[in-house]
Amino acid sequence: MLKGWILAGAVFGFIQFSSLAHSRVEIRNHQLFVDSQPEPFLFGAELQYFRLRGGHGPNIPAEKVYGLWAKALEQMQKAGMNALSFYVPWDFHEYREGKFDFTGTADEDKDGRPDYPSRNVLHFIELARQYGFKRIMARPGPYINAEWGFLGFGAIPLWFHEKYPDSHMRDSKGRRTKLYDYQNPDFLKATRRWFQALYDQVLKSILDEKGSPLLFVQLDNETNFMWQSIYNHNYSHQAISRYRKYLRQKYFWLGRLNRVHGQNYKRWSEVFPPFVPGINLLQDQDWYRFNDLVIFDYLRKIRKMWEDIGISENEVIFTLAESYNATKNGLLPNFRYRSWPKETGMMTLNLYPKTYESGELLNFPFKADLDVKSMIQANKLYNGHQEWLLGPEIQGGWWKGIDVSPASRLQTYLTTIGHGLKALFIYYFTEGQNWQHDWAYYQIKPLFEVLALEQGFKNTPSETLPDSFWAELGKRVDENLVVGFDVKKIILEGPDAGADLYFDAPLDGEAQPRPHFHILEELGKKLVKEKGFFLAGAVELSDSVGLLKDLECHAPSLDTQLDNVDLSSNWAGGLLGFLLQAGVNPKIIHTHLEDKKSLSKFDFLFRQDCGTPD
């Protein structure tokens, strides 16, 4: 048969694959094994105990909180689920520096009643076990996102923000961003203490039990600079110093850097990262690769913290939560660095194919196909040729104004399973109360009042203020608080906006099922219950056609007409969809992870031209 290349050409690298040693939790024969016993397909949900608090404020009776938890667990049971995941928010449990509450008994206001019984994560785990959930994934951060906390991107505590203001990343103007520097020593030290307390007071006792339900521990969450452009961060003096060190290690001497970047630096102290994209594309690419390595180094540190504390991959599997999409000039997950054996964790997939209103079933109709197939192949680096993928966040709804229809949901769930996903967790599964949602309003309001007085708008209705007023207020907030707040929206909506999470989730904030909950019941009954063990070890069959994906195509393209983030994450889905519609099911091949010799078995290879050298 004719063998050919379509848009052919790639740079190949070969990394020796390794496999996990036999351990309590492992992937073997493309299936999850626990205590040497094969596990079925994992069907579960993210159940956030800290959001089901029974209302706002402290002193809600424990019986009400525990009743909500039981109600939600009962609905999971009704849907035929067999697994459970949950974040453990740092800011919720370390309510003051060095003061932890994992039993829901802290009484800071000294009124003789527990402040937040919903902090009793030990009871939550025990209750889950009573309902038959013996497969648990804990996600303790330090970042959890989750639209949680005073910055809306949890769960770094407010007390830490106040005590260590210089721990934040800086933008190119020197202003603090919402993110904390992944390499900041105060941040890492506080994270280590958080992990130690969680281990000592919660996780150790669970892991010490025979038949422990804790199978997965997630390292951080969606570690990608909060979905922002790489030109929004990190320009602190310390970060720039690290960037120079990276360039020195890559180019060895300044003359070589000058030749590549087309510069005439006299000394290393003159070297700065690019502040805006497109001026010098080779500098852009180095800045991109440097930030990739920053994340890799950070995740390695997080894993080592857990190992030093006492958790090893002999007893759990460390995981990473990844979404294969990004904003313009953002970072896509680097499959080589993210899934490095014994250094980071096993990649898992977060997937949201319907995120804006349109008449189509899905906004990205072949996104689920691409991401599952792609990540399964990338995970072979970590799992030693085993095909196994977990989805901790498979779309359970979306924000107000976006209709995620029952058909959209079912299409996503069946597509992921059909391409080989072995563990599917619905996110969000429930709604509930947010935390410290009004902080930004009360920080911005005094600046608003001062500016209104200065500009003669003291008694002017807020909704009639001119755009120039809001622009000036935004500038002052950026300079005095942190960059990135929508000041007009925050002031006009008031302090109660965002008090409750709405996601059109299967369960509302009272753990009551919505009409589309029946989809999960059908999935559990007709597929997971009947075919659970078959699905747990099944491997997707592919045709002898390969779709090449090149990590170099994540970096800014030398072709200024191309957006490599969009090309790699979305356009590639279109190419895959074209092939699937033509009756061809290609295999995804990561050129930096595969042995070049293995390509000889394919009849055709497709590669998107992303403007990098062949």
How confident is the model at residue 613, as a pLDDT? 61
Contact criterion met (CB below 8 Å) for 111 and 465: no
Q: Are 43 and 424 in contact (CB under 8 A)?
A: yes
Measured over the CA atoms of residue 565, residue 569, residue 572 and residue 578, the dihedral's sign is negative
With the CA atoms of 90, 95, 100 and 104 taken in that order, what torsion angle do they form, in degrees rounded to the nearest 10?
A: -100
Task: Give whole-number Cα distances, 79 to 45, 293, 479, in Å.
Answer: 10, 41, 49
Residues 6+ apart with CB under 8 A from 278: 284, 560
Strand partners, 214: 136
**Separation of alpha carbons 451 and 463, rounded Å:** 15
Q: Taking a C-beta distance cutoff of 8 angstroms, is the pair 429, 396 a contact?
A: yes
pLDDT along the chain (614 residues), means of 10: 30 34 86 97 99 97 98 99 99 98 97 98 98 98 96 95 97 96 98 99 96 97 94 95 98 97 97 96 96 97 98 96 93 90 96 87 88 96 94 96 94 97 98 98 98 95 97 98 97 97 97 98 96 97 95 89 91 94 96 87 93 67
Task: Look at the alpha carbons of 410, 412, 418, 422 in this order and tell me if their dihedral is positive or negative.
Answer: negative
**Single-letter code of the amino acid located at 225:** F
Determine phi and psi for 87, rounding to 5 degrees.
-70, 155
Of 571, 548, 550, the residue nearest 561 (C-alpha)? 571
Please tell me the predicted confidence (pLDDT) of residue 361.
80
Q: Determine the 3-state secondary structure of 384 from DSSP.
A: coil
In order of start, what are the domains of the chain with their CATH numbers? 32-235+273-437+498-541 (3.20.20.80), 237-272 (no CATH), 446-483+485-491 (no CATH)
What would you report as the CA-atom Rg of the chain, rounded to the nearest whole angstrom? 25
Nearest CA to 274 out of 223, 298, 240, 250 is that of 240
What is the pTM (predicted TM-score) of this model?
A: 0.94
Cα separations (Å) of 162 from 88, 411, 564? 21, 45, 38
Name the residue among 420, 348, 446, 459 with its Cα closest to residue 587: 420
Contact (Cβ atoms closer than 8 angstroms) between residue 7 and residue 609: yes
Contact 385, 379 (CB under 8 A): no
Q: Which two tokens stand for residue 161?
A: 């923000």
The pLDDT assigned to 86 comes to 99
Return the closest-CA partner of residue 55 out of 42, 64, 63. 64
